[in-house]
């Protein structure tokens, strides 16, 4: 990540359930993630799916 997009989500996250690695199901769109984008992750260990929302959720309430 080059750090110029503070709303971008990482390529992987740590699974809350098993501590494994969850990979993005889809790569970021061109231009990166935008606030409010829903990004799905799939755990490689337990195959659970996790959805994260890009950006700060608190900011989404302000138009």
* Smallest separation (angstroms) from Zn ion to the CB of 55: 24
Tokens of 5: 């997009």
Q: Which burial class, exposed, middle or buried, applies to 2 when counting CB atoms under 10 A from its CB (0-12, 13-18, 19+)?
A: exposed
- Using the rule CB under 5 A, is 45 a contact of Zn ion? yes
| Stretch 1-40 residues interacting with Zn ion (CB under 5 A) | 15, 17-18, 20
- Using the rule CB under 5 A, is 44 a contact of Zn ion? no
Tokens of 6: 């503070």
Interacting residue with Zn ion among 8, 9, 39, 43 (CB under 5 A):
43
């Amino acid at each position: 990540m080059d750090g110029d997009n503070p709303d971008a989500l990482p390529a992987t996250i740590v699974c809350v359930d098993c501590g494994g690695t969850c990979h993005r199901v889809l790569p970021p769109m061109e231009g990166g993630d935008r606030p409010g984008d829903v990004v799905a992750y799939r755990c490689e260990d337990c195959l659970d799916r996790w959805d994260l929302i890009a950006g700060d959720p608190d900011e989404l309430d302000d138009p």
